[in-house]
Amino acid sequence: AKRRRQGGAVAFAAEMETELQERRFIEGELARALAGHAFELYYQPIVKAERTATAGLEALLRWNHPTRGIIPPSVFVPVAEAAGLMDKLGEFVLRRAIADAGRWPDLYVSVNVSPVQIRDRAFVDVVSAALGESGFEPARLVLEVTEGR
């Protein structure tokens, strides 16, 4: 009812229970996946149009669940945001992308950042620490704010 409009009412439907159970499952599995480093990053080339040369790489987070297979970010990211797990998930992506990009000295790396992360007062410290610990050049890191909460 909250999603549809303020002060409205919605009749119970079986799909609501299914949706709630799915959300709870994803939330519980997310915590385990984070602890077990079960997420993977894939890199999509960013090409300069004038020379058709690769200028950078965009880090894409993927979750290959052991029983469900690939769970898309469109499913797990909103759950991570709502469950307060986005800071940990985002830090994992940032650190892994920076570490991986250290092997590609002539390219920049683009990392998607949730609005939830941007609002976190510790976000600047997390980015600063990740860059400082890795020695990665800050000019080679692009942070792209995604749509979201």
Q: How far is CA 93 from CA 6, 34, 84, in A?
A: 35, 11, 16
Confidence of residue 109 (pLDDT cuts 50, 70, 90): very high
Helix (H) or strand (E) holding 30: helix 14-35
The pLDDT value given to residue 21:
83
CA within 13 Å, CB half, 38: 16
Tokens matching residue 59: 């880090």
DSSP code of 8? -
Q: What is the average pLDDT across 79-98?
A: 93
Quote the pTM value. Answer: 0.83
Each residue's pLDDT tens digit, 4-57: 556 667 666 667 677 788 888 899 999 899 888 889 999 999 998 887 889 999
Name beta bridge partners: 46: 56
Q: How far is CA 79 from CA 76, 108, 139, in A?
A: 5, 29, 31
